[in-house]
Structure 1
């Protein structure tokens, strides 16, 4: 059984249906089960593609389907009960499913009372629209507040997972969010565990053609991780990979996969060929001395983006 999740943020934009089908077949063939999507990915097309693949290529019972809501099509956050339930219903229609296995609040909406937002999670579970619920991109105190609120009264849907960016280049979540998630008994689902692609080492000598950093749409997303401090961490990952006879991708992914509280890192790719190295790293284990060295070089007291 794979401890990785498959991300679909590129589906419907950079990844078409045929390439998505290859990714999903490769992922499930390697023992993967968790497929993560969201209502805003590809303006809904990621969910449409996944729904089609579940009908035509992969058995529904072999996949744990997770989706997210709380961002409107205009980019505004909306954690109101009305929007969340309507968004989940729209997701189910695009997916062609009666229920999803896991539904996340994509962001925290400070303009909506927490109790109203969380009541939508309860309704989604009790109505059968989802089996489990979680949060994404919340601060540690927000995770703790949501988890405590849901535990405070019998019958409320517990928070079982939290998605957050987490990698060797983004460790500040270890200060509060990771302890809060562990204390809540929720599983941590790191997104961008490869530091937005930088930890693969592909930017060591420049901006490869076709890479995100070379794409005007994504350049600002990658640029914060191309500074001197991050380069020092990348070089350490490359050195460790050379010593192990592994890839930098495998080393970076294994590091975050085996951190405290992590249930499954979510790995996204444009193509099945890009996904393959991540799936092949499943059997990799980092010796303690390499873990210690990577912990030291990426210590979160150093400067980070």
Structure 2
């Protein structure tokens, strides 16, 4: 499996990152089975967050790490500073408190990768980067990232960090998939659009994509006439995305793979480094993702899938 070098991390990140929003201690048999299988195919990075499953996700990961005694070879990406019912959590006290709780749940004294779960544009990047760099200096965080930040704020933050001798963001984690979101799936979420794509191509900043398979849009379970999934309709149903689906289906037939595997291969075959956060809950789903990670697409195929080329390459 391909891996991505991230400045500050102890090892390169595997192209497939294991999502954990369904993890919980009461599901440890399933969690352990899936994590063992993920590690067996070469996966080495687990994505979690302070808020996932009310903290149970991090707890389950900590139990698995402790049982397998493999903390030295597993990278943990956790996230914090998600707003709560009282508003923004983008401040020193909240970030420090949440990180301390996350590390306790994870049964470790550091996180390999840390991302701010949302942005608060009202807080200056100077203040945010100062808070995060304190934690890097304390070695509680090894590599910094941002989830659901616009490319403009990422650029502003990294320019400030560079000018002031600080560690900047080394990865971004937005929604990025072949199907383009026409509105946020959840409030405050950011999806890769044409401008964002061009910026990453220019800067080379790695992307860790969540919902990289568009929440099942490419599984074949849905059609333009089937409007039973209100969220999928709201976010992904439009003529352009159905044309992307048609093209992915055609390319899949030609390559002898599944349409959903082509959608994942699209994410992993960009001009800049990418990893896909996946959420397989059984062996078949993991095998499908693993096979998709081996599919190689040409630049022309990627552009054609994304409707940037009209003629089939």
Q: TM-score range by the shorter chain?
A: 0.7 to 0.9
> Equivalent residue for 2:99?
88
Which sits farther off after the overlay, 88-97 or 270-279? 270-279
Structure 1 stretches lacking a partner, 5+ long: 300-305
Partners of 2:128 and 2:153 in 1: CA distance: 12
Deviation of 1:149 after TM superposition, in Å, equals: 1.1
Which sits farther off after the overlay, 179-188 or 25-34? 179-188
Deviation sequence 1:229-268 (CA, Å, 0-9, x none)? 3222212211211111001121111111011223311112
* Conserved? CA contact 2:269–2:302, under 8 Å: no
- Structure 1's 52 and 19: CA in aligned 2 closer, same or farther, altered over 3 A? same
Alignment counterpart, residue 176 of structure 2, candidates 156, 163, 166:
166
TM-score for the superposition, normalised by structure 1: 0.85
SS, match of residue 199 in structure 1: coil
Deviation of 1:182 after TM superposition, in Å, equals: 5.2
> Equivalent residue for 2:113?
102
Structure 2 stretches lacking a partner, 5+ long: 3-14, 182-190
Partners of 1:167 and 1:92 in 2: CA distance: 30
* Conserved? CA contact 2:59–2:106, under 8 Å: yes
- Structure 1's 175 and 275: CA in aligned 2 closer, same or farther, altered over 3 A? same
* Conserved? CA contact 1:81–1:119, under 8 Å: no
Q: Does 1:20 align with 2:31?
A: yes
Deviation of 1:130 after TM superposition, in Å, equals: 1.1
* Conserved? CA contact 1:12–1:49, under 8 Å: yes
Partners of 2:257 and 2:149 in 1: CA distance: 33
* Conserved? CA contact 1:50–1:95, under 8 Å: yes
**Equivalent runs, 1:54-203 vs 2, <5 Å:** 54-57=65-68, 59-74=70-85, 76-154=87-165, 156-170=166-180, 173-181=192-200, 184=203, 186-203=205-222
TM-score for the superposition, normalised by structure 2: 0.83
Partners of 2:115 and 2:254 in 1: CA distance: 39
> Equivalent residue for 1:303?
none
Task: Kindly report the root-mean-square deviation, in angstroms, between the aligned alpha carbons of the 2 structures.
Answer: 2.7
Deviation of 1:65 after TM superposition, in Å, equals: 0.6
Deviation of 1:122 after TM superposition, in Å, equals: 0.5
**Equivalent runs, 1:285-304 vs 2, <5 Å:** 285-287=296-298, 290-296=301-307
Deviation of 1:135 after TM superposition, in Å, equals: 0.8
- Structure 1's 118 and 287: CA in aligned 2 closer, same or farther, altered over 3 A? closer
* Conserved? CA contact 2:115–2:147, under 8 Å: yes
* Conserved? CA contact 1:169–1:298, under 8 Å: no
SS, match of residue 218 in structure 2: helix
